[in-house]
Amino acid sequence: MKRFMAKTLCLLAVGTGVGFGCGDDDPPKTPQTEVNVPHYFPPDETPAETPASGNALRLQFSGDAAIVVPMAQEGSSKIDMSSSFTVTLSGFKSAADADGVNLKITPVNGLRISQNGTGSFQGDTKTFVVTVQHDDQSPFSCKEETVHVEPDAVPAGYTYEDGRKSTKVFLKTGESTTCRIPVNQKNIQAFNRYARTSRGLTLHYELAENVTLPAPAAGQSNWTPIGIMNNDSYIFKGSFDGKNRTISNLKIDTGNDNQGLFGVIGNNAVVEKLGLKNVNISAGSTVGGVVGHIAGAIVRDCYVTGSVAGNWYVGGVVGYYERGRLENIYSEATVKGNGQEVGGIVGAISLGTVQNCYATGSVNGQYYVGGVAGIIKGNAGTVKNCYATGVVEGTGKGDSPYDQIGLGGVVGHTESNSTVTYSMALNPKFIYEPAPLANPGHVGRVIGFANDDRTNFADNYAFDGLKDRSGSTTWPNDEKKNGTNISAEELDKGTKIPDAFKGLPWTYEEGRLPGLFGQTVEMPEHLQLP
């Protein structure tokens, strides 16, 4: 019956000149005149609508190449951090046309590669997110892999002629500074766990973007310091390159010692080019925004804003610093210590050099309190090319001759073979208690107290309006402790600012204070001209 009806329609069509073929081999006939003829199909035999031929599909990669890193849960060797890239296939006429299309991905040894189900469709484009993971079996080594992708199951009526397209996948092991593990918003907490493992403490990292840490519950922390003072196996020995980016809202609330972004670093470790914004640290002793304790390492090109508090050895950037270098850094943090050796940049210095630094926050402690450093102890400690502009307060009282307050605009207290040069005490005032303070004479504009004659204090300056506890700006004529007068006008014009502050790494312009990282510093209110 079906064949009879189809044949009848065929004969009718021929009679009217419409180009229907009447047999399997009959060529279509070109109509001479256009005639409207109803198309008839038996039930259930209506063909699906197909797109016009010649629709070319276009495949593109979106976003950066994928990066796989060996981040793992603490105590685990499993590589559990995945990465991804996006593939778009555009040129579809409808969602129905795109429905069955997938990606054909060439396998890569050592990786698990998968797409997100059937993809998503919008406009004329189907989008796939491709996830890349390590296979947890192959050796994880620093290398670059190529992933090839092409469409699979292209529907009839469409063409795709570009063949396989490729993108890169990078495996970053952190074993060298040329293969640093990237740290970003997504994996910052995995980094905090992994970098504290025995393996992670030896590797090299870089900050791939600005990161904001999540707010913790009241009285809780959102960070555990990397590296602890236990033995050499537990200190951080790798490097962290901030790439001139920032980590914001780091909070530590604990009674433990050696606290900061890093707890303890040594063995020539390097932390550099990093800004810590709005830190909120309250801890035990040896506390700093960037590092609690440095033991033979380098911190450079860093800054801290917020607040840092502890007991002994408290600094805006570093708590206790021995050996290595601390350079090109500043702190806008308020610093408070319930004990001694408290400084705007560093609490205590031993066998090291602090240079090219400034601190603008207030500093408060009991004894040995300084705008830049609380104390230089031991041999050959140096502060040079540094200044401070914040209020310095010493709260210590006592009856013992050892209860020397040691309060200074740059350094609170120095021991043998200390050096303080080309530095400026630009503080507005000192706050400290009168009697029964054991020795109120251990206060100086630049240096609070020098405990040894074998010291080198030269070419230092102090704001001539800096006030003592009584509000007086008259200080003993002791250039070693009190430096050379510099007035607000001389600061404004720059006539007495040491030349060291007018060349690299500093940036200087008249009417402002020298700054780092291409910026200058606004004159604080007490240094502004009337």
Residue 496, in any domain of the structure = no
Mean pLDDT of 519-527: 97
Confidence of residue 16 (pLDDT cuts 50, 70, 90): very low
Same-domain pairing of 67 and 166:
yes
**Confidence (pLDDT) at 451:** 76
Per residue in 94-143, pLDDT tens?
Answer: 999 999 999 999 999 999 999 988 899 999 999 999 999 998 888 888 99
Does 35 have pLDDT greater than 70? no
Write out 130-141 in H/E/C secondary structure: EEEEECCCCCCC
Does 48 have pLDDT greater than 50? no
Residue 378, in any domain of the structure = no
**Global pTM?**
0.84
Per residue in 493-503, pLDDT tens?
Answer: 999 999 999 99
**Confidence (pLDDT) at 74:** 66
Confidence of residue 12 (pLDDT cuts 50, 70, 90): very low
What is the C-alpha to C-alpha distance for residues 490 and 463, in angstroms, rounded to an integer?
A: 10
Q: Which residue has the higher pLDDT, 26 or 491?
A: 491
- Residue where a domain stops, chosen among 108, 136, 171: 171
Same-domain pairing of 61 and 28:
no
Tally of domains within the chain? 2
* Domain membership of residue 77 as a residue range: 57-171
Same-domain pairing of 25 and 80:
no
**Confidence (pLDDT) at 435:** 47
Residue 86, in any domain of the structure = yes
Residue 106, in any domain of the structure = yes
What is the C-alpha to C-alpha distance for residues 329 and 463, in angstroms, rounded to an integer?
A: 22
Same-domain pairing of 154 and 128:
yes
Q: Which residue has the higher pLDDT, 332 or 477?
A: 332
Burial class (CB in 10 A: 0-12, 13-18, 19+), 443: buried
Mean pLDDT of 180-209: 94
Three-class SS state of 363 = strand
Same-domain pairing of 62 and 28:
no
Same-domain pairing of 38 and 132:
no
E-only strand ranges, 311-404: 314-315, 318-331, 334-337, 342-343, 346-350, 353-359, 363-365, 369-370, 373-377, 382-388, 392-394
Three-class SS state of 513 = strand
Residue 213, in any domain of the structure = no
Mean pLDDT of 341-366: 96
Same-domain pairing of 89 and 129:
yes
**Confidence (pLDDT) at 397:** 61
**Confidence (pLDDT) at 442:** 85
**Confidence (pLDDT) at 44:** 44
Look up tokens 């080198």; give the residue: 456
Residue 388, in any domain of the structure = no
Per residue in 443-453, pLDDT tens?
Answer: 999 999 887 66
Same-domain pairing of 61 and 21:
no
Mean pLDDT of 449-478: 88
Does 36 have pLDDT greater than 90? no
Beta bridge partners of 382: 353, 419
What is the C-alpha to C-alpha distance for residues 427 and 446, in angstroms, rounded to an integer?
A: 10
Query: Which pair of tokens denotes residue 6?
Result: 């189809």
E-only strand ranges, 8-119: 55-56, 58-62, 66-68, 83-90, 102-105, 111-115
Does 485 have pLDDT greater than 70? yes
Does 529 have pLDDT greater than 80? yes
Per residue in 390-438, pLDDT tens?
Answer: 999 998 764 555 556 789 999 999 987 899 999 999 999 999 875 444 4
CATH of the domain at 89: 2.60.40
- Residue where a domain stops, chosen among 171, 202, 217: 171
Same-domain pairing of 77 and 13:
no
- Residue where a domain stops, chosen among 154, 171, 188: 171
Does 260 have pLDDT greater than 50? yes
**Confidence (pLDDT) at 488:** 97
Confidence of residue 54 (pLDDT cuts 50, 70, 90): low
Q: Count H helices, E strands: the chain?
A: 5, 41
Q: Which residue has the higher pLDDT, 282 or 50?
A: 282
Same-domain pairing of 117 and 62:
yes
**Confidence (pLDDT) at 404:** 61
Same-domain pairing of 85 and 164:
yes
Same-domain pairing of 36 and 120:
no
Mean pLDDT score of the chain? 87
Per residue in 196-248, pLDDT tens?
Answer: 999 999 999 999 999 999 999 998 999 999 999 877 789 999 999 999 999 99
Mean pLDDT of 482-492: 96
**Confidence (pLDDT) at 417:** 84
- Angle value at C-alpha 70, between 68 and 71, nearest 5 degrees: 105
Residue 167, in any domain of the structure = yes
Residue 436, in any domain of the structure = no
